[in-house]
Chains A and B, each alone.
Chain A
Amino acid sequence: MREKEYLFNNANKIDEILVKHGMNRSRIVAIMQDIQNEFGYLPEKNLKYISMKLQTPLSQIYSIATFYRAFSLKPRGKHLVTVCLGTACHVRGGARIVESIQKMFDVKPGEKTKDGLLSLETVNCLGACALGPVVVVDGKYHGHITISRLERIVKGILNENKK
């Protein structure tokens, strides 16, 4: 009976992921990573579904989802700006870049703009320290970034959306 409740569009996809990991409870972090890769975040329905399938309390899954930084319980914006805040980037002004983006586009780190177009995130270190400060915009790395150059890049991708 309960199973029916969770039968939804993506159930097949989730089953595929679960089978790939051998329905193994100890691989739950990897399973959740795959779900996140598939959907961009961890939808509540999917978590309830794996909780049932793996016979693991939802509270435990929730504790894992909120413990690891890589997981997000909310959908991300269409475009993603990730600012590196490693030490090398910090001494070269990484924090100022986050603040400026925050003010310019009215978005807080870890959240998205009201129109849902842009998410701002920070990361502890990307290990590309020689390029600091580093910003990743939609998967593309930009080294030695300045506030004005980043503003141009971000406005560029946002404008493309409006066309």
Chain B
Amino acid sequence: MKIKNSSELKNYYENLIIKTSKREKRTIVLSMGTCGIARGASDILNSIKKEVRKRKLHNRVEIRVTGCHGFCEVEPFLIIYPQGIFYCKLQPADVRQILMESIEKNNIIERLLYTDEKGKKIIKETDIPFYKKQMRLLLGSNRFIDPANIDDYIAQGGYQSLSYVLGNMQPEEVIEEIKKSGLRGRGGGGFPTGRKWELCRRAPEFPKYVICNADEGDPGAYMDRGLLEANPHSIIEGMIIGAYAIGSNYGYVYVRNEYPLAIHHLNIALQQARDYGFLGDDIMGKDFYFDIEMVKGGGAFVCGESTALIASIEGKPGEPRAKYIHTVEAGLYGKPTNINNVETWANVPLVIKNGWQRYSKIGTETSKGTKIFSLVGKIKNSGLIEVPMGITLKQIVFDIGGGIANSKRFKAIQTGGPSGGCLPEAHLDLPVDFDSLSEAGSMMGSGGMIVMDEDTCMVDVARYFVNFLKEESCGKCVPCREGLSAMFEILTRITEGNGKHEDMDLLEEISFAMKNGSLCALGTTASNPVFSTLKYFRDEYIAHIEKKRCPAGVCKNLVHYEIMSDACRGCGACLKICPVSAIQGEKKKPHSIDDTKCIRCGECFEVCKFSAVRRK
């Protein structure tokens, strides 16, 4: 069935609304993104289906499988509408009780509710502190949308922005609207979206291409996976609007190979959009053709860089090129190409729907709208969060994230992926926007936020990122290829206790050369993790170099485990858990660790109930 014009869309939308309002069924919403499935959501779904069959509840309950809502920490969870009851950390065995108590009757099962920090039980999802402090303009609709069902998206007002644009606006007006809204690229660069579109539209050559960059490679970041899995149509709608404004007929989505579920959902969504006539010939009755092809990445981090991404779509190794000529003038197959990130595209329908005036009210002077972050690491409430620009890091970490897990102390927050930096406690009051973070020596990047506590070694973190980038450097330009190898060698030396005092200066020198001499952003920003840790955590470097000590107890060569004989009760827990049988001892007598066998995995340290294992 094709929807041919705006009035047909309006009718279709109204019918959907009437249908749902007449329905007396309850709806069980189950969050089944990759993380939910990993936590056992499929088993929950199977139990629900089985129990519904057994209890003949088909007429009373409907099951909706959605993508990730964001609160990954308490998964698997489900919500029962219309009441909005939120049950979390479920086991398949809980399902029977849920159907008996909360569907057949109207009872609430206390033990499955979310418990807040003070021990209070919270019934409704919307009352949970994690959600309450957010502004979920993009993620908020995830719970209403089955990503494999376009009707759910349309019932949320989907494709109406497209309909409005095609019916009422000239391409130049669309660009003007996006420019005025202040929307900036969410992939990390923060380039004004409207200006990029304008440059691409003005480029004289044809055809023009639009690309959605979904090669989310930053480790510790999964915002784009969240959006693609949960609401692929919002991205498709944004791309169609962009293509109309730019004057393009061909689009590509370049998705990471490591996201099988996102690829699956996107494929379904693209087909449904074609079936409904949102992609293809004469979209919404207008003389406008546009279609999107999906391209899978090959697992190369550098392909997130625009010119490398283009090379990869062309079927070449993903090596970046120098950008004397911008991709908006000569990109894919040498033609004008506009690349935006997943989240940027998803913001486009929102800007049109709200109008630039309302949209630009959210955020700070230079950064407008909301931003999705993946808040992970040593934090209590891990998950995807969406907040207005300008919120402080402190609010994110403590109000939304609930502080540090296991009552440890906060040490640093790492933003911006491998190109970003680590910020210490003193910077927690920093507002989160494009410019403030860059000034502090980090960057907003695509939105990964990794929280680190006192057990994280900052030299090790710097070495981790340098190693990551060393592996991912394409090797085309010398500063990046050789610089990263040299930095890795030095950092390894330091973590092994063989560092010299001059090493810190040498690291800074190499950083400088890389910053100025590398071909693409991977190289020019690669030194940020080293630079920022040297700046804010220099004492840790000095401890490694001078005292041959790793204060966090992470660096293997500088750490030893021993059992304090006066505290050891000889319970045998460590002996049993040691994977290399390095622990000996008789029952009820103090045990000991053979240092030559020990691989410093720390399992004995974690398992000991009497704090008899010492790390030094």
Contact = CB atoms under 8 A, between A and B. Distances in A.
Interface string B289-325: 0000001111111000000000011111111000000
A85 interface: yes
A128 interface: yes
Interface in A63-95: 63-64, 67-71, 85-88, 90-93, 95
Given A67-B318, A87-B377, A87-B414, A125 B73 contact: no
B69 to A, nearest CB: 12
A67 B579 contact: no
The range of chain A's interface size is 35 or more
B35 interface: yes
Decide if the interface of chain A is mainly helix, strand, loop or mixed: helix
Contacts of B317: 63-64, 67-68
A63 B319 CA distance: 11
B318 A68 contact: yes
B39 A143 contact: yes
B378 A91 contact: yes
Nearest to A88: B376
Contacts of A99: 599, 601
A148 interface: yes
A69 B472 CA distance: 9
Nearest to B529: A87
Contacts of B312: 29
B131 interface: no
A148 B148 CA distance: 39
Contacts of B378: 91-92
Given A70-B257, A87-B448, A123-B258, A27 B315 contact: yes
Given A33-B298, A86-B220, A87-B464, A128 B38 contact: yes
A25 interface: yes
A142 B579 CA distance: 19
Nearest to B457: A91
Interface in A26-40: 26-30, 33
A100 B601 contact: yes
Contact of B219 (A27, A63, A67, A125): A125
B296 A30 contact: yes
Contacts of A127: 34-35, 216, 221-222, 225, 258-259
A91 B465 CA distance: 12
Interface in B409-457: 414, 417, 448, 450, 452, 456
A23 interface: no
A142 B38 CA distance: 7
Given A29-B312, A68-B318, A129 B298 contact: no
A63 B219 CA distance: 25
A45 interface: no
Contacts of B579: 100, 103-104, 147-148, 151
Closest 7 CB pairs of A and B: A68-B298, A130-B72, A127-B222, A141-B38, A87-B220, A130-B382, A86-B219
